[in-house]
């Protein structure tokens, strides 16, 4: 189940979220687990122009869950604890211009001692400018990230430009492109004895979102750096689709899918871990009431190891039934509950 609480006033917006997702297996009971996700965040507006925000999240899941969706990398099944904290502020310079400054800290710990824990810090500044047509918003975003693991210290600087525009009342477009430079300084604990490296690359985050009465969905592509359970840094390119369509006022179908390509940033002739991963998940849903939704889902995943000669493919299939209970906004505190 999951539950979300919200509180809103003219100056204060608070949100609390908690989710517990349990897997119970008929055989292999040692695989049984309960994932946990807790979020507390909010923002406060001091004046009409100036606001601050803060938030925290604790996530306990596994390599087969959100870590897989982040990276497209299938690893040894183990628990992952991730603590994230952020602090930021925004200031409206004028009706059309604004600044946004944010800091985020992320600490990731793995269940097995053979895996490598990581800590990352991220500082991002954005200057946003809305054009005279009041539709297009352009942003310039410098970003600096630094982090550490047992085998290296890493530093990444990114400069991006973003363009956002509502194409219509129900269609929204966002386009971000940028360039990055990544410095990795390996130490004596690196098992591959790699030297320091500097890598140039691109970043992208492109999406098209539809919010209609019968059809809702999002198509996205992004290209970013991610780490796996051994703290190896990968350049991960992802193409994602998530669409729901109602054929009648109560009955509809959905589709979720994605394609990932993960390329190890610093491989060697003796060891390369590049891989492809894809997921397809069609579903059928029925609105029991306006706010209660019953959904039947099927999912197929497959990963392909590019440089592995023996058994290069790993796959899984799943079928499950889900009930979503969404409470109306008139319930000022309780927002949603899912099973």
**pLDDT at residue 69 in the model:** 82
* Token pair 């197929």 in the structure block, residue: 300
pLDDT of 335 higher than 50? no
**Residue environment code for 191-200, b if the CB has 16+ CB neighbours within 10 A, otherwise e:** eeeeeeeeee
pLDDT at residue 327 greater than cutoff 70: no
CA distances (Å), origin 122, targets 145, 155, 160, 184, 289: 4, 10, 15, 16, 43
- pLDDT tens digits, 204-224: 999 999 988 899 999 999 999
With a cut of 60, say whether residue 330 has pLDDT above it.
no
The region of weakest confidence among 28-32, 82-86, 147-151, 231-235 is 28-32
Q: How many CA atoms lie within 13 A of 119 on its CB side?
A: 2
- The half-sphere exposure of 111 on its side-chain side, counting CA atoms within 13 A, is 11
Please state the rounded mean pLDDT for residues 238-265: 94
Per-residue pLDDT, 307: 77
pLDDT, residue 314, reads: 85
Q: State how far Cα 235 lies from the chain centre.
A: 15
- The answer to whether 155 and 168 are in contact (CB under 8 A) is no
Read off the pTM: 0.84
pLDDT digits (tens, 9 = 90+) for 303-324: 998 877 777 888 889 898 888 8
Give the containing element (helix H, strand E) for 70. Answer: helix 66-71
pLDDT beyond 60 at 336? no
pLDDT one-digit tens code per residue, 84-114: 999 999 999 999 999 999 999 999 999 998 8
pLDDT of residue 193: 85
Per-residue model confidence as pLDDT tens digits over 119-141 = 999 999 999 999 998 899 999 99
Task: Give the range with max mean pLDDT: 18-32, 74-88, 259-273.
Answer: 74-88
Rg (CA), the chain: 22
Distance (Å, whole) CA 99 – CA 90: 6
What is the C-alpha separation between 58 and 41, in angstroms, rounded?
A: 12
Within the chain, strands assigned E span: 2-8, 12-23, 33-45, 50-62, 79-92, 97-110, 118-130, 137-149, 152-166, 171-186, 197-211, 215-227, 233-246, 251-264, 275-287, 292-305, 313-326, 334-338
pLDDT digits (tens, 9 = 90+) for 156-199: 999 999 999 999 889 999 999 999 999 999 999 888 888 888 99
């Amino acid at each position: 189940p999951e539950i979300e609480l919200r509180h809103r006033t003219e100056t204060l917006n608070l949100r609390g979220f908690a989710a517990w997702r349990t897997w119970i297996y008929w055989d292999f009971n040692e695989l049984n687990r309960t994932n946990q996700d807790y979020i507390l965040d909010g923002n406060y507006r001091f004046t009409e122009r100036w606001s601050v925000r803060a938030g925290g999240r604790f996530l306990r899941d596994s390599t087969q869950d959100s870590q897989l969706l982040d990276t497209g990398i299938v690893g040894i099944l183990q628990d992952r604890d991730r603590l994230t904290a952020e602090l930021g502020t925004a200031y409206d310079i004028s009706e059309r211009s604004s600044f946004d400054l944010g800091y985020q800290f992320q600490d990731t710990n793995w269940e097995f001692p053979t895996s490598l824990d990581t800590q990352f810090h991220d500082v991002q500044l954005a200057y946003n400018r809305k054009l005279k047509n009041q539709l297009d918003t352009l942003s310039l975003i410098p970003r600096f990230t630094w982090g550490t693991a047992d085998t290296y210290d890493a530093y990444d600087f990114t400069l991006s430009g973003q363009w956002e525009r509502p194409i219509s009342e129900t269609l929204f477009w966002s386009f971000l492109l940028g360039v990055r430079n990544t410095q990795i300084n390996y130490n004596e604990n690196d098992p591959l004895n790699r030297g320091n490296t500097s890598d140039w690359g691109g970043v992208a985050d492109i999406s098209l979102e539809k919010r209609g009465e019968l059809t809702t969905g999002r198509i996205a592509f992004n290209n970013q750096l991610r780490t796996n359970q051994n703290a190896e840094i990968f350049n991960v390119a992802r193409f994602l689709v998530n669409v729901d369509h109602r054929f009648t006022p109560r009955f509809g179908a959905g589709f979720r899918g994605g394609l990932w390509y993960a390329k190890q940033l610093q491989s060697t002739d003796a060891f390369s871990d590049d891989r492809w991963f894809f997921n397809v998940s069609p579903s059928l849903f029925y609105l029991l009431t306006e706010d209660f939704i019953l959904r039947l889902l099927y999912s197929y995943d497959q990963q392909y190891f590019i440089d592995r000669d023996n058994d290069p493919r790993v796959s899984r299939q799943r079928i499950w039934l889900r009930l979503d209970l969404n409470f109306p906004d008139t319930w000022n505190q309780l927002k949603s509950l899912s099973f």
